[in-house]
Structure 1
Amino acid sequence: MGSSIAVAIVNGVPKPLPSDPRRTLLDWLREDLALTGTKKGCDHGQCGACTVLVEGRRINSCLSLAQLHESDTIETIESIGSADNLSALQKAFVTHDGFQCGYCTPGQICSAKAMMQELAEGWASAQTQDLTERPLPTPEELRERMSGNLCRCGAYSNIIAALEDVIASDASLQGAQA
């Protein structure tokens, strides 16, 4: 009986998982797969620079072991738009200068993409005032929803403006309005 190689689907492509059970998802993505858009900030799950999407949900890749993601679909910043075809979030970040040094931007955009899906699905946050209605989120609610992603440059107001733009133009969120 032969052993099968464990794989994860990374940006739409099956990739064999590392044999070392201690390898973090972050290090596997960056060092083994050369997906360096995912950043290593604190390496302790405190800054969000390493945020990626696993099965559509945001996680800190520095806190997760790669081998735990057998058969999972993993999305990194490299799969969200391109230099020639920016996603709506990337365009909004550029328009509103939501990236200063840019180090946190990949994690911010991955987190924002997942947050938009959470909004579309009606997920509540600590700032949600009324669980029976789904108005567009306030700037305070957006800050709370993005609180796991730090920006050492302090571009928070610009990031919130970018998010508000995308939310206002996203048809899937228009039903969320009161």
Structure 2
Amino acid sequence: MYFKAKLSERIGMNDIHEILRLTHDSDSRKQELYNLVIGEDEAIGYHATWILTHFSSEDNKWLYNKQDELIDEVLACKHGGKRRVILNLLYKQPLANPPRVDFLDFCLERMISVKELPGVQSLCMKIAYELCRPIPELMQELKTMLEMMEGDLCPAIRATRKNILQAMSKGKSLQKI
């Protein structure tokens, strides 16, 4: 109950550090926080997700078995900020191989959507790249899409596109897990 009340208000870094301290050695407290991510209240879910992005790399491993639920949540999410931070959580995880087709389709669609937030577009591009890497046919399709994304791109999208095309040419991952 503490987390829900705390996250219904504006939070700062001191709040984040306090909650991280409370969850660090407690899987049940991590689960309590995670339940708010997938709960009904978008604002509380956004704050809870934002805190999860501050997990240490060791604590972040606790989220690995939640990947399908996080994907389900991002596919249904209407809150752009929450969508961005969930994608950030997913990008910090080893992604399933073979990929979930609905998630790959979501990323391919959102990376080119001019209605989407640049942060979401960039993360969708990076995740799509990582999902396509093991499958040569998908890599070619992604490369074609990236090459078509020219013109009036914001700096973040332009830089992400350039970095992915460079990584593609070297056959390297962009993820640092």
**Normalised TM-score (structure 1):** 0.34
Structure with the largest fraction of strand: 1
Q: Which structure has more helix as a fraction of its residues?
A: 2
Higher relative CO (CA 8 A, sep ≥ 6), structure 1 or 2? 1
